């Protein structure tokens, strides 16, 4: 037989154990280049800027996206 709990864990103690399981909200700021919302310390996915310079080539929306 496997291990069995010696005592019932109340909902209160179960919640105490899980108090760190909460979701943490992302830190959102405005991109200084394009004013779009982005995460702090992340490249702006809208314009591809990070630390005041272009680090990503952002493709302009195409009429038909290729499958590859």
Return residues touching Zn ion (CB under 5 A): 31, 33-34, 36, 44, 46-47, 49
Q: Is the CB of 9 or the CB of 55 nearer to Zn ion?
A: 55
Contact 44, 36 (CB under 8 A): yes
Task: Please state the closest distance from residue 59 (CB atom) to Zn ion, in A.
Answer: 15
Task: Please state the closest distance from residue 65 (CB atom) to Zn ion, in A.
Answer: 22
Q: Is the CB of 3 or the CB of 35 nearer to Zn ion?
A: 35
Residue at token pair 């919640």: 15
What Cα–Cα distance (Å) separates residue 66 from each residue in 46, 56, 61, 62?
A: 20, 20, 12, 9
């Amino acid at each position: 037989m496997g291990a069995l709990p010696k005592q019932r864990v109340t909902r209160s103690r179960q919640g105490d154990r899980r108090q760190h399981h909460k979701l943490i909200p992302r830190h959102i700021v405005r991109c200084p280049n394009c004013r779009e919302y982005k995460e702090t310390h992340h490249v702006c996915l809208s314009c591809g800027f990070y630390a005041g310079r272009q680090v990503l080539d952002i493709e302009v929306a195409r009429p038909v996206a290729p499958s590859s």
